[in-house]
């Protein structure tokens, strides 16, 4: 998990198959990945120094999810695909060693007040704008995490689902686990972002 070309050539194809198998999707398009390495005191000056995110968020809003489909697929195909069910799903896993330091926590969608808890946040890039959700504190939120998650375990994080009557998104964050032993290896993880389509 050092060379981006190797990740795209080796890890992307097996991850596509895994997402299809778990979700029953007919088509999966991976559009990027991020490697995060916890390095206390090291500033995030470039893509290679991404730290765990310690702020509750959701990676996509409905508008930015639809824009992602149009950005990564040919116009005619995108137009057809957004008329059917589609999702954006992140595949997250630890690399190098178990995630003891700053593991990933997930909020139960059933405890989220979608009207009050979610705050759209605009991301401004040189060539475009994106949008995520910040998440306000709500004492009703219920959180879960997999303690000491191993490298052969994965979490699928639903960032958007166009279907009605289902969990539409998952607020998530990295966090300092107070039960982690002193001197635990610093977190290293990879997340892939996927457009997931259904017939």
Q: Is residue 193 pLDDT above 80, yes or no?
A: yes
Mean pLDDT lowest for which of 38-52, 70-84, 120-134, 156-170?
A: 38-52
pLDDT of residue 44: 77
Query: What does DSSP assign to residue 180?
Result: S
> Can you list the domains of the chain with their CATH numbers?
4-197 (2.60.120)
What pLDDT, on a 0 to 100 scale, did the predictor assign at position 2? 80
Region 68-96: mean pLDDT is: 97
Q: Are 107 and 135 in contact (CB under 8 A)?
A: yes
Residue 34 and residue 174: Cα distance in Å, rounded? 14
Q: Please say if the pLDDT value at position 91 is more than 80.
A: yes
Token couple for 4: 């981006």
- DSSP assignments along 113-179, one per residue: -HHHHEEEEEEE-SS-EEEEEEE---TT--EE--TTB-TT--EEEEEEE-SSSS-----EEE---TT
pLDDT(188) > 90: yes
Cβ proximity of 59 and 159 under 8 Å: yes
Handedness of CA 56, 61, 66, 67 (dihedral sign): negative
Cβ distance 174 to 67 under 8 Å?
no
Say yes or no to pLDDT of 3 above 80.
yes
């Amino acid at each position: 998990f050092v060379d981006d070309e190797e990740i795209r050539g080796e890890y992307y194809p097996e991850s596509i198959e895994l997402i299809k198998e778990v979700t029953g999707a007919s088509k999966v398009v991976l559009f990027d990945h991020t490697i995060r390495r916890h390095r206390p005191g090291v500033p995030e000056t470039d893509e290679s120094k991404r730290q765990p995110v310690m702020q509750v968020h959701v990676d996509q809003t409905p508008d930015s999810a639809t824009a992602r489909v149009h950005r990564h697929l040919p116009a005619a195909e995108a137009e057809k695909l957004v008329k059917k069910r589609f999702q954006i799903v992140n595949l997250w896993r630890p690399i190098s060693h178990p995630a003891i330091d700053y593991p990933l926590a997930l909020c139960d969608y059933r405890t989220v007040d979608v009207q009050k808890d979610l705050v759209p946040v605009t991301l401004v890039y040189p060539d475009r704008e994106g949008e995520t959700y910040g998440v306000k504190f709500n004492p009703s939120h219920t959180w879960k995490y997999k303690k000491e998650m191993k490298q052969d375990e994965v979490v699928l994080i639903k960032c958007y689902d166009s279907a009605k009557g289902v969990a539409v998104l998952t607020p998530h964050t990295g966090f300092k686990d107070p039960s982690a032993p002193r001197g635990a290896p610093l977190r290293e993880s990879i997340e892939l972002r996927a457009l997931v389509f259904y017939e």
